[in-house]
Structure 1
Amino acid sequence: MSCKIEDYGLIGDCETAALVGRDGSIDWLCWPAFDSDACFAALLGTPRHGRWFIAPAGEVTRSSRRYWDNTLILETRFETADGTVALVDFMPPRGSASDVVRLVRGVSGRVKLAMELVIRFGFGADIPWVKRTEDGALLAIAGQDMMVLRTPVATRGQDMMTVADFEVSEGETIPFVMAYGPSHLPVPPPIDPARALRDTEDFWTEWCSHCTYEGNHRDLVMRSLITLKALTYAPTGGIVAAPTTSLPEKLGGQRNWDYRFCWLRDATFTLLALINSGYTAEASAWHNWLLRAAAGAPANMQIMYGIMGQRRLLEWEASWLPGYEGAKPVRIGNAAHAQLQLDVYGELIDAFHQWRIAKLELDDGTWDLECAVLEHLEKVWDQPDHGIWEQRGAGQHYVFSKVMAWVAFDRGIKSAEKFGFKAPLERWRSLRDTICRDVCEKGFDATQNTFVESYGSQILDASILLLPAVGFLPASDPRIRGTIAAVEEHLMRDGFVLRHDPREVSEEKQPIEGAFLACSLWLADAHVLAGDFDKAQALFDRVAAIANDLGLLAEEYDSGEGRQTGNFPQALTHIALINTAHNLSAANKPAEKPAVQRSE
């Protein structure tokens, strides 16, 4: 059985990532990229579906773990009756190949350890052909994939896996280095594990030195920034929503989705998190990915793309995997990529506008793309869509989707006015006003004094919390005050915010999932804008308190079970945490403006 979701740590090389359990087992790794097939898939099945386990052979009396300061180097300590060992896991910045390095260090005494390596390409389905190379390395090949393991420890085959028994004494370090390469190319050359450790530590500490955030919870913000960097596919600048697929939104449930792709919806909040923290190079890479991915006919623009901008993210089910704690199906790919979700048009235009406000350089063709997007949006903004939560089934007139259509024209107008671009301003202003009236007339329920999920509905959803943040109405407006109060009354569970209204029970919605962590932080942001700083701080502290011991957060939190749920670690959660921390920090310094306010 795999660990609890919060019992995993993350290592990565900015092209892919692995999850390491506190028991010393790497249970998830897609190689060579985030969206590749997994070679270790025990996370969604059993050890027989692939894992790499290293731990003491005897009873562990105590274990602890930590990241080395300002790095993505994970150290797990195991204490036994015979002594203490440290397992140091990391992935060096990508060289000629991708490597996973595991160093077993003797801290005290002499400890017996066991290694169990189960390589299963193709998400646990493909058993490789394994042989020795001339230099004694272990080589595994199946189809297009090749992995090579180098270690001074003697290994042996046993029951379709590779095992080893060894000992480590105080002051001794035993390395294990595994590299990936395409099977038709030469075997990846060996690397020096000690040198790789130094290089990896230098890479991360230098990167972290650029962080400009100096407010409260700096360690947690820094860990969130490191996580965001780790979820970035360095060759293109695309940022995946999570490195995993099919970790369930509800334990044992069926809402299991593949998040190893890049969502346009996260664009503006991602840019703000990076720019406000001092990472303009990463923000620029993300912007350039956005521009390339969205290029082409606006009518064909998608809500998400692959890490290299791929558009066909066909969804299928890995039927041989039993799922995380039995949560089936395990889905690969994401059919939601083909949905109409109007809010992404607003996110795209807003992201470009925020980039200009930050006085950072944009591609010369950006404004032409924006004008083409807005021309298309004029024709489709009043159509039903599938909304921010990507509901499967018939479309609806979601309030947040309409508001983001308003944002698209609002930011287009502001960019044209502020930066002197040629634009049909009179027509855009008229459309902006039309959309605003439409939302306020059809998306506001006067009997409850709140905006609602969709036109004609009486239920809420957490996306309406973003209305003041995007500048649709000020936080002081009685309708926004009423919306915040209604969310607190109907969408709160155990101090956290649900994304769906529990008054509407269906297979697609609550109460079949946990609280959506980003939504709790959106409520905190709304409180900041409304001047309710104590409420905002309390919400932030509540989310911060459920981060695991390494500072990592999943998509959701099941307060009844006291467990994190959903794909992990989740970029949107960490982005929201960064931005809320900035907002709270700015609230304590009146001369500064909260980063969440996007309406300039």
Structure 2
Amino acid sequence: MDGARPEPWIGGHAFLSDCATAALVAPDGTIDWMCAPRFDSPSLFAGILDTRRGGGWNLEVEGARPAVRRYVDGTLALETRWEGDGVSAVVTDLLAVRRSGSRLRNEGVLVRLVRCLSGRATVVSRVEAVPDYARRSAEWRPDGDGALRERSGPRLWATGEPRTAADGSVEYRQELAEGDTAAFALDYLGESGAADAATCEALVERTLEAWRSWSDRTRYDGAGAQHVRRSAVVLRGLLHEESGGLIAAPTTSLPEWPGEARNWDYRYVWHRDAALAVLAFLRLGHGAEARGYLDYLLRTFRRTPERLGPVHTVDGELPPEEVELDHLDGHVGTGPVRVGNGARGQNQIDVYGHVLDAALSYQQVVGDLTEHDLHGLWRIVTAARGLRSSLGHGPWESRGAPRHWTTSRVYLWVCLDRAVQLAELTGHRDPPPLDEWREEARSLRAEILERGIDSGSGAFVQSYGGDRVDGSLTRLPLVGFLPGRDPRVLRTLERLDAELGVGGDSGRDGDGAGDGSGSSGGDGDLLQRYHPVRTRDGLDTEEGAFLLCSFDMVSALVLAGRVEEAERRFARLCERSGPLGLLSEEMDADGTMLGNFPQAFSHLAQINAAINLDSAEDVEALRAWARRRSGGHAPAKDSRQATPSGREASA
């Protein structure tokens, strides 16, 4: 770009998705991140990673400013109201989808629609695509009907006449009277024919109808319903429709701490994250999405049946080797920018427990796992059993020395416990060695209780032989390893608060202008996952508090009987969400969002915390849910669960 525009912080962005790829829209109306044709493709716009070189698609109304930004209810369509200088206009941004049965199919088109509400509006749209992570300038050529086609395939169309500059940018300028509409469309698949304003308006209406149809099936009206419903839509937007894989986030290299090197590519499917999302989808009545991921999981595992890797691409392949893009400065100058992910070869033992936990919950709620599915799951259990004595990189994929992470050992127990329950539930005609699994689960549990607890404090610790706590230990009562009121759990929660709690005044990250200021959120609601330097995770740098752990602490407090405290913490955490209800991976105590955005981990944990709070009066149901015992699913108040075929089954 000619010059660097002001750098908006992460949390002020909006998230668009068509369940194939995504885009981020900055508060000033610039689309500064988009990859195509899928989430992990090379970028077309990468201004969020370098405001000078990364490009973007700016759209503005001259003499006006963005006054109000909101999502159309139940959708990922962004509406921005521009006001000023006697003019009022509304811009609608979305990635177009259509409904196909219970599915959301991408149209392959990014639409920007401007309606002049009053006065006369001058709309300026400047498209500066810099393909392949800004490694080259765009090359546009005329393609009929006033459209332009980039050499890699995308097709750009607008109601006005384009002006193409030598640097590859394209500018449109249109004058609108009251009631007039300007339309812009980027067909990233390059498959559309002629377009006009009516076509774009039809895409908008079809997209709104498709998203509302999906959102209307969300079964929740309890505590924090507004946040839960927004988080559900975000999770759906992170789910790759064609494959069923759910990515961790649509971005790469947004820093976990300013000026440090904790920048990673999250545009892939982590089975841990996706399996936890299955639990959230099931509790909200979205069985089809849960089924889609399980199908993806089993297809992926069949390719390497001796091992379940922690992370794959949306089509089930290993992510690319991790490389650094030295030509990009990084978000707010914080490099390196990385693509690919080095966790692809790690040993993350907890993954096996997460996927068996999801499979059991799915069968309890929906109940349509086949013999073929079960055989695949039993092979996963067999692979997990082979790791009983193995060291691992833990739930946080540490780049330090492998060790016996306590939470990973607990999830190995979860794998065996859920496998036994699943076999008993299905009456599998070719029964696995259940007696061996039961004995191994019993032995493993005894080992964890002996080696995973610090003798001095009586609390669980991060890894065997260590003395530090870890935010993932909040999950012990959430999976039913011990009751929430067990003294060892309570002592662990106390140490977590004392040693990893983050206090101080906290504000919202960003407002309509993206300035990062906001109201106070109070003390004690944020939780770090661990002490980043003392943990020796391979990176001697700081990081923000982890929102997954912060919301999981809310759930753990509910199971501990500390419901009022849990309610206060949940309310403060929700106040910290971005102006559009979105959550990053991490957060500073002052409310600044950090890390990739929006983050599946954070949104699914928010959903589960809300449902746990809403079910707090039914303690027995919550305890049964933690152990995934039949009849104890602690669903939302409206307990009907949608199956993949659209039928409903009682939870």
Q: TM-score category by the smaller chain?
A: over 0.9
2:612 paired with 1:583 = yes
Query: What residue is the counterpart of 2:273 in the other structure?
Result: 266
State how far apart, in whole Å, the 2-side matches of 1:217 and 1:426 are.
Answer: 43
What's the CA shift for 1:366?
2.5
* Structure-1 separation of matches of 2:454 and 2:148: 66
Letter in 2 for 1:126: R
In the other structure, the counterpart of 1:322 is 329
Asked if the contact 2:398–2:537 (Cα under 8 Å) also holds between the matched residues in 1, the reply is no
Matching of residue 11 in structure 1 with residue 41 in structure 2: no
The question of 1:283 aligning with 2:290 is answered yes
Per mean C-alpha deviation after superposition, the further-off stretch among 28-37 and 121-130 is 121-130
Residue 134 of structure 1 aligns with which residue?
144
Match for 2:424: what amino acid? Answer: E
**1:213-262, CA deviations, whole angstroms, 9 ceiling, x for partnerless residues?**
11022121111111111111111111111110111111221111111111
Choose which of 161, 165, 182 in structure 2 pairs with 1:158. 165
Residues 289-368 of structure 1 mapped to structure 2, 5 A cutoff:
289-368=296-375
Partners of 1:151 and 1:177 within 8 A in 2? yes
Structure 2 counterpart SS, 1:452:
coil
The residue aligned with 1:548 is 578
8 Å CA contact 2:174, 2:182 repeated in 1:
no
Aligned match of 2:252 in 209, 225, 245?
245
Which one scores higher on RCO, CA 8 angstroms, separation ≥ 6? 2
Question: 1:270: how far off?
Answer: 1.3
1:358-415 CA distance string (max 9 Å, x none):
1421132222223323333333222110000001132011101111111111112222
> Quick one: which of 450, 454, 469 aligns to 1:441?
450
Paired position in structure 2 for 1:39: 44
Q: Deviation per CA, 1:411-460: give whole Å up to 9, x if none.
A: 12222333323122222222112211221111100212211111111111
Cα distance in 1 for residues equivalent to 2:297 and 2:537: 33
User: 2: distance between equivalents of 1:85 and 1:375?
Assistant: 60
Please report how far the alpha carbon of residue 511 of structure 1 lies from its aligned counterpart in structure 2 after TM superposition.
Answer: 6.7
Q: State the distance in 1 between where 2:17 and 2:377 align.
A: 35
Residues 507 and 424 from structure 1, CA distance in 2 versus in 1: closer, same or farther, beyond 3 angstroms? closer
Instruction: Check 1:596–1:319 CA distance in 2 against 1; reply closer, same or farther (3 A cut).
Output: farther
Structure 2 residue matching 1:149: 3-state secondary structure: strand
Question: 2:404–2:464: 8 Å Cα contact kept in structure 1?
Answer: yes
1:471 correspondence with 2:497 = no
The two structures have a TM-score, normalised by structure 1, of 0.94
Q: Residue 83 in 1 paired to residue 83 in 2?
A: no
Tell me, what secondary structure is at the counterpart of 2:409? helix
Report deviation, 1:594: 6.8
CA–CA distance in structure 1, aligned partners of residues 162 and 341 of structure 2:
39
Instruction: Tell me the C-alpha RMSD between the 2 structures.
Output: 2.0
Match of 1:491 among 500, 505, 508: 500
* Aligned residue among 204, 209, 225 for 1:197: 204
Which deviates more from structure 2 when the two are superposed, residues 158-167 or residues 219-228?
Answer: 158-167
SS at 1:430 equivalent: helix
Scaled by the length of structure 2, the TM-score of the pair is 0.87
What is the identity percentage for the equivalent residue pairs of Structure 1 and Structure 2?
A: 35
**What SS is found at the alignment partner of 1:55?**
strand
- Measure, in 1, the Cα distance between the counterparts of 2:568 and 2:177: 47
Counterpart CA distance in 1 for 2:623 and 2:209 is: 33
Q: Aligned pair 1:120/2:142, yes or no?
A: no
Q: Measure the CA separation in 2 of the matches of 1:188 and 1:249.
A: 42
Unaligned runs of 5+ in 1: none
Once the two structures are superposed, residues 64-114 of structure 1 have per-residue CA deviations (whole angstroms, 9 ceiling, x without a partner) of: 101112221101112112312211101111678510110111122113232
**8 A contact 1:232–1:240 mirrored in 2:** yes
Tell me how far apart the structure 1 counterparts of residues 575 and 479 of structure 2 sit (CA, whole Å). Answer: 27
Q: 1:339, 1:582 → 2: CA distance? A: 33
Change (3 A) 1:505 1:477: closer
Structure 1 residue 18, shift from structure 2 partner: 0.4
Q: In the aligned structure 1, how far is the partner of 2:260 from the partner of 2:535?
A: 15
Once the two structures are overlaid, the 10-residue window that deviates more, 442-451 or 427-436, is: 427-436
Distance 2:52 2:84 in 1: 24
1:180 alignment counterpart: 188
Secondary structure at the counterpart of residue 450 of structure 1: coil
Using the TM superposition, give the Cα deviation of residue 266 of structure 1 relative to its aligned residue in structure 2, in angstroms: 2.1
**Residue 487 of structure 1: CA displacement?**
0.6
Q: How does 1:43-62 map to 2 (within 5 A)?
A: 43-58=48-63, 60=65
Partners of 1:456 and 1:329 in 2: CA distance: 34
1:318 and 1:119, CA in 2 relative to 1: closer, same or farther beyond 3 A? same
CA separation of 1:267 and 1:6: change in aligned 2, threshold 3 A: closer
SS at match of 2:531: coil
Give the residue type in structure 2 aligned to 1:485: E
Q: Does 1:394 align with 2:401?
A: yes
Deviation beyond 6 Å, 4+ runs, structure 1: none
Contact 1:75 1:89 in 2 (8 A): yes
Any gaps of 5 or more consecutive residues in structure 2?
1-5, 99-104, 504-523, 630-651
Of 85-94 and 240-249, the range deviating more from structure 2: 85-94
The within-5 A match list for 1:394-413 is 394-413=401-420
Would the alpha carbon gap of residues 505 and 384 (structure 1) be closer, same or farther in structure 2, given more than 3 Å must change? Answer: closer
Say which SS state the counterpart of residue 478 (structure 2) adopts. Answer: coil
| TM-aligned CA distance change 1:524 to 1:187, over 3 Å | closer
Cα distance, 1:188 vs. partner? 4.8
Equivalent of 2:72 in 43, 68, 72: 68
Q: Aligned pair in 2 of structure 1 residues 440, 307: CA closer, same or farther (>3 Å)?
A: same
> CA 1:88–1:26 in 2, change beyond 3 Å: closer, same or farther?
same
Cα contact 1:2–1:27 (8 A) shared by 2: no
Residue pairs, 1:516-527, within 5 angstroms: 516-527=546-557
1:423 maps to what in 2?
A: 432
Q: Give the Å deviation of 1:56.
A: 2.2
Change (3 A) 1:303 1:36: same
* Paired residue total: 592
Could you tell me how far apart the structure 2 residues matched to 1:591 and 1:301 are?
34
In 2, distance between residues paired with 1:501 and 1:49? 33
State whether residues 469 and 599 of structure 1, in contact with CA within 8 Å, keep that contact through their aligned partners in structure 2. no
Pair 1:153–1:128, CA change in 2 (3 A):
same
Measured after TM superposition, the shift of residue 202 of structure 1 is: 0.7
> Which residue in 1 is equivalent to 2:97?
93
User: Secondary structure in 1 aligned to 2:551?
Assistant: helix
Structure-1 residue corresponding to 2:153? 146
Cα offset, 1:267, TM superposition = 3.9
Query: Do residues 567 (structure 1) and 596 (structure 2) align?
Result: yes
Q: Give, in angstroms, the shift of residue 120 of structure 1.
A: 0.9
* Per-residue Cα deviation, 1:293-319 (whole angstroms, up to 9, x for no partner): 222444332001111111243211111
Match of 2:117 among 103, 107, 115: 107
